[in-house]
């Protein structure tokens, strides 16, 4: 029988500062250790009183148009949490308190890599409590015209994604990843958020993207990438969609043992997928999480996922 994992938190507190992608607000954020079974929580320290705690939970999602935003019953919110949540998920952090003095997590360089670096600098500590996971027992699917998202049974957490854009710089891309043996850091964490130059003016007119720049996003114009440094991966666009999905799915409250596949999906469809999952108690069970046998790096890099039957017609 495989060893049951224990829950993890940070060894030490660690902080950073930056700007919000959409609000443009300058914020300071500190990630603190937390006790077992407390999960990931955000605390708005710019708001006085006891109403400033927001649990990172799918039931608290209030907006998922261009990012994932959560709020508590008092209406206190925190936006653009997906990259930080992806870092927590990818590095196996179960419990943490995130103190922040503004309405949006700093965008940093547009990826999850700075947050993963912070967590590693702070160190990781095991807690005296077993790690639990959500094991997918049967396929769950949500659809919209030309897009879908699915969860299906699998022995470990795997993700696949495909995208298609009219821009020749992006075009059609597909990627699959098995989140084991550091694959999140190697294959996903450095992929940056991206956007299209022709959309920037409209988004800013709508009060969004106030903090966006070539320092924190990949910007595409026609068949060109405008960033001087180019791309970090040849398929950085689809890898970032996987990154977003890792963060969105961690709002389930526990790691997932199953296979996710997204086709042109985004934050809203990812959230709907969690709603559909938890609406069907026969589709999942809570189980102790066991260690995954180590796999060679080349096996992870070459990993291919067969699409679940429910998704094959998308």
Structural domains of the chain, ranges and CATH numbers in brackets: 6-131 (3.30.230.20), 133-309 (3.30.1700.10)
- At 203, the pLDDT band (50, 70, 90 cuts) reads confident
Q: In the numeric block, which tokens belong to residue 126? A: 């095991």
pLDDT in tens, 166-188: 999 999 999 999 988 889 999 99
Q: What is the pLDDT of residue 295?
A: 55
Q: Give Cβ neighbours of residue 34 (< 8 Å, ≥ 6 apart).
A: 9, 41, 95, 96, 97
Q: What is the pLDDT of residue 208?
A: 78
pLDDT in tens, 55-69: 999 999 999 988 999
H helices of the chain, where? 82-90, 113-122, 183, 197-205, 236-249, 267-278, 297-301
Query: First and final CA of the chain: distance in angstroms?
Result: 38
Burial (CB < 10 A; 0-12, 13-18, 19+), residue 111, is: buried
Provide the 3-class DSSP secondary structure of residue 252.
helix
Question: Which residue is catalytic, options 22, 83, 175, 267?
Answer: 267
Q: Is the pLDDT of residue 308 over 60?
A: no
Task: Report the DSSP beta bridge partners of residue 158.
Answer: 178, 259
Active site residue 22: no
Question: How would you list the strands of the sheet with 96-100, edge to edge?
Answer: 14-19, 26-33, 96-100, 40-44, 53-55
Closest CA to 289 of 126, 60, 87: 126
């Amino acid at each position: 029988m495989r060893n049951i994992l224990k829950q993890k938190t940070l060894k030490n507190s660690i902080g950073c500062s930056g700007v919000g992608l959409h609000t443009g607000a300058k914020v300071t954020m500190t990630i603190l250790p937390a006790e077992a079974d407390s999960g990931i929580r955000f605390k708005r320290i710019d708001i006085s009183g006891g109403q400033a705690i927001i649990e990172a939970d799918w039931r608290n999602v209030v907006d998922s148009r261009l990012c994932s935003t959560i709020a508590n019953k008092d209406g206190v919110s925190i936006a653009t949490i997906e990259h930080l949540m992806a870092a927590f998920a990818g590095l196996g952090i179960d419990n943490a308190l995130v103190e922040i003095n503004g309405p949006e997590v700093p965008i940093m360089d547009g990826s999850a890599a700075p947050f993963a670096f912070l967590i590693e600098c702070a160190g990781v500590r095991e807690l005296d409590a077993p790690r639990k996971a959500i094991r997918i027992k049967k396929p769950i699917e949500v659809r919209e015209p030309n897009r879908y998202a699915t969860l299906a049974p699998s022995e470990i957490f795997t993700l696949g994604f495909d995208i298609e854009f009219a821009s020749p710089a992006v075009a059609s891309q597909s990627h699959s990843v098995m989140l084991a043996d550091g694959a999140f850091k190697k294959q996903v964490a450095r992929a940056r958020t991206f956007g299209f130059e022709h959309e920037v003016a409209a988004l800013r007119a709508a009060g969004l993207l106030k903090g966006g720049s070539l320092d924190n996003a990949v910007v595409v114009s026609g068949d060109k990438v405008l960033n001087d440094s180019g791309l970090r991966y040849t398929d950085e666009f689809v890898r970032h969609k996987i990154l977003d999905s890792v963060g969105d799915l961690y709002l389930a409250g526990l790691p997932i043992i199953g296979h996710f596949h997204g086709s042109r999906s985004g934050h809203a469809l990812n959230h709907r997928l969690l709603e559909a999952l938890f609406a069907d108690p026969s589709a999942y069970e809570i189980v102790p999480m066991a260690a995954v046998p180590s796999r060679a790096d080349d096996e992870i890099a070459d990993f291919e996922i067969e699409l679940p039957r429910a998704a094959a017609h998308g």
